[in-house]
Amino acid sequence: MKALDNQWRTSSRSGHNGACVEARYVDQAAQVRDSKDQAGPVLSFTPTRWTGFVQEIKTGRFEA
């Protein structure tokens, strides 16, 4: 797994339909935004919260 850095990145598992989010790590926070609205709002999370969220995804908690 590639760690976040200060460049916006999408998941390697994102489809090509444009319905995805981008994430980066900057100013001691993980940030997330809608890839279709790059000038729109950005959500920021502490590293601990972000790591917990990613772990929950991996366990399948947020399956559609």
Domain boundaries, the chain: 9-58
Per-residue pLDDT at 45: 94
Residues 32 and 8: their CA atoms lie apart, in Å, by: 8
| Mean pLDDT, the chain cut into blocks of 10 residues (64 residues total) | 76 73 90 91 93 89 73
Tell me which H or E stretch contains 58. Answer: helix 47-58
Q: Which pTM does this prediction carry?
A: 0.73
Q: What is the pLDDT of residue 4?
A: 72
* C-alpha distances out from residue 13 to 39, 41, 46, Å: 23, 23, 24
Q: Residues 6 or more apart from 55 whose CB is under 8 A from it? A: none
In this prediction, residue 1 carries a pLDDT of 38
